[in-house]
Structure 1
């Protein structure tokens, strides 16, 4: 051992010229030999001068370490120093400065290093323990010293001494440094099979850090101390300030507690296990299915099967969601199946008692399966007791039990709030009444419907449906008068009239304006009542201003069937006064049709006034049929010129998409009345009014008409005019028809003229397409450059020069000295769209042709065979 506290140190300095010297230090109690070499003398002298300087002692120690390190390379018999010399030096230093943490720390680490390969049960280990004890007399506030000592004791497997040392460390250190000790302390108690000690240590630790309770619970579960684990879980879930270090929610902790209790009822043996689980059911109403299953499992593990069955039944009567119900029902069914299978394995079926028990259990299982739909319906009704559809499903489930059907209906109508009803509440009341009707209890059905008419429905239509169903029930039972009396009572006007759309008023006070009720009333009066009563119903509908166009038409048809024609026409006129376009269209159409059927041509002037009154405000979309009816009347009963005037007005009033059809009708009737020659003006008017597509078709028909009349020149001029509207690459049909015309009636010159016009138009349209493409490209380029405005101006100037230089179509196609039929057109947008759709970039050689090239190209083209015409005599 190094120099003890009781030893004193004395030395004689060696001679100056000696390389080594040995001096013996003698103490009163023991003798220690210290080897001092010449290199040690400077350090010894410094220590004599400054015995309390840590720096000098550390330099001396480092010097000794280097000497010992050098001698490690020598054989063992030649070594002069050992580790003990270094220990003695530390002892000397600590005698002078026992409060130096650095010296103690280095000394203890050196002693621990020396014990690395030694047996921990040897006396040397006890010597190190004593050194630690001496150190702690001065360094008891240093946690690192305690940790080194505690770890060394743990390595020695001295359990009791280690536990007591841990306690001493906790007593000696301030509480702010206890964390460092507790980590090692918990590791120590869990290393050894000392559960009682570990539990006590954990309890002490949790007073400092209760957030680590989950780790304690895991330890308890691993040790099988489940009762203590359950108590700790209970503390966690009941302490609001507790927060899981692993991020678990309170519900997860409840679930773990319930699983622990249900799977280990005997080991946990808590008297309040059921109370704990039921408390969780109250706190977590959206996760009750799993908790109910845990409670039932607790009783199953405890072999209390009847109590478990009661829990399952209670659960199915209280769960609020389909998911929870499914969990509970599946667990319940599985429980019954296990009981059945277990009894089938163990019981002797020849025993009558066992047989009866088995039959009882089987009946319970079958009853459970049969009740599933009804139990699920109960869950849905607990979610929303105002769900009409679910109540109707519940009634259907009790279809074979009349008493339960009545009970369900009564419970439903008492439970459902009309303001919150989801579904048709009136249908539930009607079904209730129909149930009594189907069982021959008509009086009870009337009582139910009487109560149904007093319900505060949200919509007037619901109350009207109840009255209508009541009336139909009376009709099914051959009580026609009773049905009429019901509808008369339902449509009675209250004392003070109210607005139908005023929702602050009850539906009973607004019922008298419900059209659904009045429509049924009118139908019943037509079928069962008198003429006067039915007429009075229709008049009241019109007076209340709730009539629809169909009601007006029905009223008029009813009056006509009873030969009250003028009354019918008055009814139509009342309807016309009530409605605006386009709702009044059906009334006008019916009125005019019936008027013409009745009077034909006897009241032509009145009919004309009606048509004029109708067409005065008629939108263009609806006037076509009315104009045709008007013109047909003039043809049959009036004047032909009036009919043509009507057709002419119609062509100007209808939308553009209907003009072509009407012009065809106009021309057809004009040719029938005045001959085909009188249609020229109509053709010219149509060509001016119609868009390009319609104008082309009309031009071809006009040309065909002139050809039939023998006016070949006029027909040719029409083809020439129409060619302005026809791009040769798009309208191939037109050019083929013109070519056929020239083959039949033209000559070589007219065919050459056709080809020239065709080429010029093709070049014209191609040029327009090129200009449009160039303009689009330049616009796109201008948009991406700062000089966009200047480029746009230059493009506009280019377009203006092009338009000025381009020859007019009239100059190209006008033969000199020949009479022409002139047409004026302003709308060319449609033609430009067609040209753009068929656009292609032509070859410049096809555009810029001089006269000689045109003649050569004409010679190269295939020339159709010209047949001389008998009526053509050459150019004028």
Structure 2
């Protein structure tokens, strides 16, 4: 109970808890306190001291200087503000000499404080001592050449005075110290204010030489862009890419270059720059470049897509635009979108049934089938594309062996040999072509199906009996199968054809075949060939064959046979083809070479005796002394109007010479 009574005495209960009629805030209390303080200070203010004569002024100045000196002795080496206050007090009394003395003493005490130099120079400028201010600025830039503020203040003073040449000179002195980029740019801005474009350009050249950094090159290019020099701006970017090292270039210069090309509406250039940047900039630093490139690509592709849609809407048969549209969709489109464009393209069938109009159109089907097979790997769709394509082509008028072969090879890739045979057989039945026969025969040859190859060759020759290539390949097949009689029969059928395209190849092939098997048959072939043609190459080949036909024990007999062939050939060319002089000369040359090759058994001299003699006729130039010769000569050299005088002269000379000879 005692503790309870004590607590009640210490903290009495509040009986009236209602708010007071006048509320007092903390702000009001502080305001009242401030007013009370100002009132007390006003009451305790010392009386104003008025100086009435020069003596009192001198006493005041002496006392005040003593106070300043006392403070300077105490803290002058530490606080520079005391010196500034002292100098400004002297300045307020127009004692400029004393003020300068204070400033000089301050500079000695604080030699590395550039602020004192600035305030000292401002004191001189404010009181219009310009030359003294220049001296102070010169001293300041010698002590603090790396403090930009000193240079800026000095240049600003010269500009305010209108001394632009002096300001330019100060800039040049500053640039010798190679300041940072902002100093160079301030120099550029100074020249631009006075329309000195060439000077500004030369400063930029010095800047990029001094600071070979992306930011400097970008500033230079932007300056050229602002001046309207697009080519020079592009040159700046190109030089920047060349001069900057790979680690220095970064993405900054490439982004600026690409944005510049975008502003110039050079979209392709910008795209190339982005791609080049993605190759040069490290992958971890190229995210922003890649984002910009993707954005540009999307914008370009969307714009291109709209352009292609507009063009194909105007002309559905413009296949070049369709091809570009398909390539665009294959780069960025989905599978469904690509299929849609392909279906729209193949729906525009050429209106005329002429092959020249279908040669571009057929590649829509080829690319469509390859897209389904390679990119999408949808085999059923690819097979369906080939079937629709073959059904669309008017094989009665023309066909494309390429599409037949591609469809067959597609089935072979899917290990469907029967399907490939079916397609190739259908091609031979509907639109036979040499290329299809060759590929089909090669396919069956690879599988060793000789019976099928023979049937194909028979169909091939039924379709094109004048094709020498087909006859030779058929014979090669039989030779490969060791069917000599069948090969000989094929050669006989071939040479009996009335209109072979290249009969000389067939005869040569047949003769080479018999040379390996039977020399007697080869000799008979040469005789049969000479019944058809008497070409000099046939005679020479026949003679060479006879020279090498027998073995060494009857070598002299071979020589006689070869000479007999040459004699027959020579008689033919002399009797029935005397106008073929070059062929006869060639025949004799080959005969002479052959005789030289026989060695001691050869008779070269007799062949040389048959060679025609070469007679060189010399023209006899006879001097014409008659008057008619002179007339002809004059007709050749001179026109008619000037011939009269010459004729009289020549006639007198001729008569004189004739009279002299007679005497």
Bin for the TM-score computed over the shorter chain: 0.3 to 0.5
TM-score, normalised by the number of residues in structure 2: 0.43
**Structure showing the higher helix proportion among its residues:** 2
Greater relative CO (CA pairs within 8 A, separation 6+) = 1
Q: TM-score, normalised by structure 1?
A: 0.34
